[in-house]
Amino acid sequence: MKEYARGFYTSAAWKKVSALYMTSRNYVCERCGGSASICHHKRYITPRNINNPSITLNMDNLECLCQDCHNKEHKLKMSLPVFDENGNMTGVKESADIEEFKKNLKLLEGIKNDRSD
Ligand SMILES: [Zn+2]
Ligand SMILES: [Zn+2]
């Protein structure tokens, strides 16, 4: 859990709304039909919207997910180019790590500049 979101996730309002939502879905995963344990926000919670109940407490923004589907949802966010030690792009992988993404993006831009002359 992100530090800024701790207050929200421990609030009585969230506990009530998420329990209500999960109950209304019978704790069945909306993606695979498995047994769900996580109340996911379709529009992700960010430091900007954490105090906006129309996002954080809006049932239209919630999804009842199992652990697996929730992991997938949060992992497959970015396609990263993968380089070998000579700076050749050898493939692509998925990552949710923004720092790694920026690093690879810089590498990619360096290569483009090399080839422009
Ligand atoms: Zn699932
Ligand atoms: Zn989530």
Q: Tens digit of pLDDT for each residue in 81-92?
A: 778 888 888 877
Look at residues 84, 92, 78, 74 and name the one whose alpha carbon lies nearest to residue 111: 84
| pLDDT at residue number 41 | 96
With cut-offs at 50, 70 and 90, classify the pLDDT of residue 101: low
Cα of 70 to ligand 2 centre, how many Å? 6
DSSP string, 44-96: ---TTTTT-HHHHT-GGGEEEE-HHHHHHHHHTTEEEEEE-TTS-EEEEEEE-
**Residue 102 Cα, ligand 2 centroid: separation in angstroms?**
23
Residue 30 or 71, more confident:
30
* pLDDT tens digits, 8-51: 999 999 999 999 999 999 999 999 999 999 999 999 999 999 99
- Measure 59 CA to ligand 1 centroid, in angstroms: 18
Percentage of the chain lying above the pLDDT 90 cut: 57
The pLDDT score that the predictor gives to residue 33 is: 98
- CA of 96 from ligand 2 middle (Å) equals 13
Contact 29, 35 (CB under 8 A): yes
Q: How far is the CA of 18 from the centre of ligand 1 (A)?
A: 17
The structural domains of the chain, with segments of one domain joined by +, span 3-74, 78-115
Mean pLDDT for 49-66 is 97
Distance 36 CA to ligand 2 centre (A): 12
Please determine, for residue 77, whether its predicted confidence score (pLDDT) is greater than 80: no
pLDDT, residue 21, reads 98
Q: Which residue has the tokens 């920026």?
A: 102
List phi, psi (to 5°) of 48.
-75, -40
Residue 82 Cα to ligand 1 midpoint, Å, equals 29
Give the closest ligand to the alpha carbon of residue 38.
Answer: 2
Backbone phi and psi for residue 59, each to the nearest 5 degrees, phi listed first: -65, -25
CATH class of 3-74: alpha beta
Who wins on pLDDT, 96 or 92? 92
